[in-house]
Structure 1
Amino acid sequence: MTKAAEEQEEGQVRAAPAPLAHDEPPAPVPADPAAPPATRKRLPRVESLTGLRWWAAFFVFTHHMTNLAPLPIYKFLKFGTSGVTFFFVLSGFVLTWSAQPGTKVRTFYRRRFARIWPAHAVALLAAVFVFYRIHPDPAMSWIKPFDVGILLLSVVLLHGWSNDPTILYSGNPASWTLSVEAFFYAYFPFMQRATVRLKTAGGLVMCVVVVALGGAYRLALYKWPDTVPVLPQPVLHSVAFIFGIGLAIALRSGWRPRFPFWLAFAIFAVGIYTLYYSGEHRTFPFATTMALTQKEILTVLYGLMILAVASRDMRGGRSLLRSRPLVALGQWSYSFYLVHATILYAIREFHGLAGPVGWSNLTWYAGVLVLSMFASWLLYKFVEHPLERRLRGPR
């Protein structure tokens, strides 16, 4: 990521680099004749991942709200943007877990288009009225001058290939992650075929190698900035996506790690707080290295949570994440992702900042959360879900 793009992550223009759970929870997978005996039976739905999606989306929401109603912990809440990493890992995991032998590439593409584009198009139309003006007010840094060419790039999900913030966060600023996902979808069928014979060891080696390569690139870019080329976002975030693929391969091949969710959550909590603390205290050991490889560290932390949840569901363990309210919220999470920042910045334009930093701003969090949840329910019920079913075609 360029320095300008990194600065955008801290600023208000980056209105929604939010989560990305464009894929439904893994469905039962038909028996694969080429699979070992342990995996020929139908794999169970990992429904808890749907509930987990909601919490990742909520984590992103808490960060974006600091641009309207900052809390005393706003510096820590900036890690809410790491929700995109969670969803990229989840996307690779889900697509691999639910991949069915014999699915044609064009069928896969049609279903992915049906999954993400209708809701994206409607949310983009609403976002244009919030984030664009013919003559924007310089005091409102999140509002950009109207540009048809740049907006068209966001319509067809190609804007993520630019590291220019004006293009990368064009249209609905959240949709830069959809551009990244579109790249994942483009190469997934071919990667799935290339890795179909990998088993547990191969999947885990894939996870280790891709994280090591991603971290090495970040460090090399820091050390030799004039020599190492800056890669576009879809390529950079492929580390998380491929990591998720490797995890799914390992589990599909019969690996059953007994890794309790509470331990995975504890490791995540300690890990993300360590990243925060090292960023605030540069004398902390390896602070610079952790800052540079933050995306790769978060990939591993989120991967452990997904692994723990999936393993528990496969063993039949109890899980609050499979409760009906959380599953419903998880189903709305993609629509929630698309609309919450648009609502937030529309409020800010007409009201201004809620007030100084303080815990009293929690009332704003509650109000905007309820409004965003209602809008996401409408988008899911009347656009996302029905149009996906119609456009997917026969199963």
Structure 2
Amino acid sequence: MTKAAEENQTPSTQELPGSTDVGTPPPGAPVSVFPGESGTPPASRSGRLPRVESLTGLRWWAAFFVFCHHMTNLAPLPIFDFLKYGTSGVTFFFVLSGFVLTWSAQKGTKIRTFYRRRFARIFPLYFLTLVAAFFVFYRADPPAGMSWIKPISVTVMVLSLFLVHGWSNNPTILYGGNPAGWTLSVEAFFYAYFPFVWRATQRLKTTGGLILCVAVLVAGGAYRLALFHYKDVVPILPQPILHSVAFLFGIGLAISLRSGWKPRIPVWFAFLVTGGGLYILWYSGAHPANFPGAVTMGLCQKEILTFLYGFLILAVASRDTRGGRSLLRSKPMVALGQWSYAFYLVHATILYAIKEHHGVAGPIGWSNLTWYAGVLVLSIIASWLLFKFVEHPLERKLRGPR
């Protein structure tokens, strides 16, 4: 997507994070994964699965990747074309959401309890940031030359409030309200059907989980190719259905790992594969004539990203189940991971508020890194305050008795 296209679609916060466990996490368990995903189960001695706390730290880096992409709208860097893949952070969060919900699911949890916990996890902070975003992205009389500021629309705000705007492919609606909210609209759909998928897949073991992973990737890729070749016949599906490929892939991975599969994939190798895969996707898009299969890779990009991020999540989670050391479990990384839901929801609002009053930082150049540092610090401080005084206390209150 060109930069001009992004500007016309409103701040492209089409890749932001939110979820909690299906079961009951122990006190002090990390409260996040997909901005919103709450902790992991206690140790296996208690009859539950071991924690995979590194995923909390890992999701901070996914949120940071999204942040780097959005910052190109304020302070472009020479690697602007590669940073557009920061949008893929949302695919990471969707895979992670399916993985964590399945990993922490417990038999006997009532569906209404699951729904109440999901609401408590994501909605209070979402509502607050939606109100804040309204004053940045909407005006009765939008100023000229600021395409991200739109006329006030009661319809769009109501759809955003009830998290159903993600079902529209109209950019004005899809990215309405808080532009990050479209991903939560997609997540709300995942939450709606997860309890039923969980019940239907409880008998699956390692092989069944991996077959599920392959099946959803094949189905997703086949749809993308069919849409390209038969666009007059194949309907364009809404975002919640399209992104279900990533969510179900995460479920399949968690099923396989829950069943005792512990692949010994070096985490450094998983990062190398993921980074190399992103580079190949970028290179094939930038130089299609020099890369055989570039068109097919471009069409099936979401499915490729789903595999890459799933591979990374699998390697990190598998290491945690074996008790290996991990910098992702360090206190600073876990703290940043816990704040990442708030960071995801608030950073674009801060960024575009600055852009309105200051304008673009300047021409493309590495000197713009100072802007990255400044906005990053502001966003982290805001996310810490929101987590400490809004997100965490309200979640505890609304979740009800354990």
TM over 0.5: yes
Structure 2 counterpart of 1:363: 370
One-letter amino acid of the counterpart of residue 100, structure 1: Q
Task: Name the counterpart of 1:36.
Answer: none
1:17 alignment partner in structure 2: 14
Q: Is the 8 A contact 2:7 2:147 kept in 1?
A: no
Q: Give 1:159's aligned residue.
A: 165
Following the alignment from structure 2 to structure 1, what is the Cα–Cα distance between the partners of residues 5 and 392? 32
Cα shift at 1:150: 1.1
Q: 1:287 aligns with which of 284, 294, 310?
A: 294
Distance 1:43 1:381 in 2: 28
Shift of 1:9: 4.8
What is the CA-CA distance between 1:8 and the residue it aligns to? 4.8
- Contact 1:50/1:327, CA 8 A, preserved across alignment: yes
For 2:77 and 2:38, locate their aligned partners in 1 and report how far apart those are by CA, in whole Å: 33
Q: Shift of residue 115 of structure 1?
A: 0.5
- Residue correspondence of structure 1 range 1-395 to structure 2 within 5 A: 8-9=5-6, 13-20=10-17, 21=34, 22-28=36-42, 41-283=47-289, 284-395=291-402
1 CA distance for matches of 2:173 and 2:365? 34
Structure 1 consecutive aligned stretches of length 4 or more whose deviation exceeds 6 Å: none
Q: Is the 8 Å Cα contact of residues 221 and 230 (structure 1) preserved in structure 2?
A: yes
CA pair 359-12 structure 1, distance change in 2 beyond 3 A:
farther
Equivalents in 2 of 1:7, 1:182: separation in Å? 30
The one-character-per-residue Cα deviations of 1:207-244 (angstroms, maximum 9, x if unpaired) are 00000000000000000001000000000000000000
Listed one character per residue, the Cα deviations across residues 100-142 of structure 1 (whole Å, up to 9, x for unaligned) are: 1010110000000001000000000000000000111231011
Distance 1:11-1:355 versus aligned 2 partners, 3 A rule:
same
Q: 1:221 to 1:203 in 2, by over 3 A?
A: same
User: How many residue pairs align between the two structures?
Assistant: 384
Amino-acid identity (%): 71
Unaligned runs of 5+ in 2: 18-33
**Which structure 1 residue ranges, 5 or more long, are not aligned?**
32-39
CA pair 329-145 structure 1, distance change in 2 beyond 3 A: same
**In 1, are the aligned partners of 2:41 and 2:48 still within 8 Å (CA)?**
no
C-alpha displacement of 1:43: 1.2
Q: Are the counterparts in 2 of residues 69 and 355 from structure 1 also a CA contact under 8 Å?
A: yes
Partner of 1:173, secondary structure, is coil
TM-score between the two structures when normalised by the length of structure 2: 0.93
CA contact under 8 A between 1:258 and 1:311: conserved in structure 2?
yes
Amino acid at match of 2:283: Y
8 Å Cα contact 1:96/1:248 also seen in 2: yes
Q: Is the 8 A contact 1:221 1:229 kept in 2?
A: yes
* AA of the residue aligned to 1:322: R
Answer yes or no: is the 8 Å Cα contact 2:10–2:148 preserved in 1: yes
State the 1:24 CA deviation: 1.7
Deviations 1:6-51 (A, max 9, x none): 98557561342233211023223889xxxxxxxx942111000000
Does the aligned pair in 1 maintain the 2:213–2:249 contact within 8 Å? yes
Deviation at 1:357, TM superposition (A): 0.2
Distance in 1 between residues matched to 2:378 and 2:70, nearest whole Å: 15
Cα distance in 1, alignment partners of residues 302 and 147 from structure 2? 26
- Counterpart Cα distance in 2 of 1:273 and 1:11: 27
Q: Separation in 2 of the partners of 1:14 and 1:293?
A: 24
